[in-house]
C-alpha cells in the first residue's frame, strides 16, 4: 500500500509541475495567481474573481499540507507533503495577524509554516505526533495526535484572538 501511495504521489507532483502556479507568466499567458476571469483586453473585469486554476492550486495546496476539517475538528494529515519543503536553515516567517498587524516568527531548521484563519501554523518534523496551541495570555495547551478537537477548532474558526499560534509535530507521509 505504501508503494502504491508513493507512486500516486509521484504522479500527482508530475501533473502539478505542468500547470498553474508552476508556470511562468509567459508560458501560462497571465500571472498564474492573478485574480482575473474572462477579462477582455479592452474592458475591465467582466467576472471578477479567481480563475478556476488559482482556486484549484489553493485547494491542492491545502491537500498537500494535509489540512482537513472533519466534523468541526481541524486535522493535520500531510501524506503528500515532501520532506524538501521543510527549511534547511532558520528563517523568518512574515504574516498578518487577526488585527491586520504585520508579524513575524523565527522558524527553526526542519520546520515549515503557513497561516490558517490568520494564525501561524508551524510544522515540525518529528516522530512524536502532537499539537501545541499557544494562547494570547501566554499559556499553552498540548494535544496528543494530529487532531484539534471541535471546541478548540471552533475558537480558531471564530478568529477571536484567543489562540495566536499552532505548532504541529509530525512526520511527513511520503
pLDDT digits (tens, 9 = 90+) for 115-129: 999 999 999 998 889
Stretch 96-118: mean pLDDT, rounded?
A: 94
pLDDT confidence tier of residue 16, bands split at 50, 70 and 90: low
Q: What is the pLDDT of residue 127?
A: 86
d(CA 132, CA 141): 6
pLDDT at 52 over 70: no
Stretch 83-90: mean pLDDT, rounded?
A: 92
Q: Which of 38-42, 53-57, 68-72, 99-103 has the lowest mean pLDDT?
A: 38-42
pLDDT at 48 over 50: no
pLDDT at 135 over 80: yes
% residues pLDDT > 70 (the chain):
69
DSSP string across 119-174:
EEEEEEE-SS-EEEEEETTS-EEEEESSEE-HHHHHHHHHT-SSEEEEEEEE----
Stretch 44-66: mean pLDDT, rounded?
A: 69
Q: Which of 1-15, 22-36, 46-60, 82-96 has the lowest mean pLDDT?
A: 22-36
Mark residue 145 as left, alpha or beta (left: phi above 0; alpha: psi -120 to 50; beta: remaining): left
pLDDT at 23 over 70: no
Stretch 49-77: mean pLDDT, rounded?
A: 82
pLDDT confidence tier of residue 154, bands split at 50, 70 and 90: very high
pLDDT confidence tier of residue 22, bands split at 50, 70 and 90: low
d(CA 34, CA 40): 15
Amino acid at each position: 500500500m505504501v508503494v502504491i501511495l508513493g507512486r500516486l504521489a509521484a504522479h500527482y507532483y508530475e501533473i502539478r509541475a505542468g500547470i498553474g502556479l508552476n508556470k511562468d507568466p509567459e508560458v501560462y499567458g497571465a500571472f498564474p495567481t492573478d485574480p482575473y476571469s474572462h477579462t477582455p483586453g479592452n474592458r475591465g473585469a467582466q467576472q471578477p474573481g479567481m480563475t478556476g486554476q488559482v482556486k484549484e492550486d489553493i485547494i491542492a495546496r491545502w491537500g498537500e499540507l494535509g489540512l482537513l476539517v472533519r466534523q468541526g475538528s481541524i486535522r493535520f494529515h500531510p501524506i503528500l507533503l515532501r520532506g524538501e519543503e521543510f527549511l534547511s536553515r532558520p528563517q523568518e516567517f512574515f504574516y498578518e495577524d487577526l488585527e491586520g498587524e504585520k508579524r513575524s516568527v523565527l522558524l527553526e531548521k526542519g520546520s515549515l509554516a503557513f497561516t490558517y484563519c490568520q494564525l501561524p501554523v508551524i510544522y515540525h518534523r518529528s516522530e512524536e505526533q502532537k499539537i501545541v496551541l499557544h494562547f494570547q495570555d501566554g499559556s499553552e495547551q498540548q494535544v496528543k495526535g494530529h487532531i484539534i478537537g471541535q471546541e478548540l477548532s471552533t475558537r480558531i474558526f471564530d478568529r477571536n484572538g484567543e489562540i495566536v499560534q499552532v505548532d504541529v509535530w509530525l512526520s511527513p507521509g511520503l
